[in-house]
Amino acid sequence: MKVHINTKEKHEEEKNEAVIQCRFVDEVYRNAPRQLTVNFVAHNGIPLVAPGEKDLCEKIRK
């Protein structure tokens, strides 16, 4: 794993691999936008669920 001494940044692929290894992670979206947009959520079928609520974006997808 390449780590810059000053910034301690990992390469994007190495970060993705580290996240994939987490047991609570179901899927990793590579090259996802930095900010979630309605378009990204609606077209990728990502459920956004709050405690005690159903999928918050279900209406947008329909």
Confidence of residue 14 (pLDDT cuts 50, 70, 90): confident
Element (H, E) at 38: helix 38-44
* Angstrom distance (rounded) from CA 45 to CA 11: 27
Q: In the structure encoding, which two tokens stand for residue 35, read together?
A: 């900010």
Confidence of residue 6 (pLDDT cuts 50, 70, 90): very low
* Angstrom distance (rounded) from CA 29 to CA 43: 13
Segment 16-60, tens digit of pLDDT: 888 888 888 888 877 777 787 877 777 776 666 666 666 666 666
Confidence of residue 8 (pLDDT cuts 50, 70, 90): very low
Q: Does the pTM of the predicted model rise above 0.85? A: no
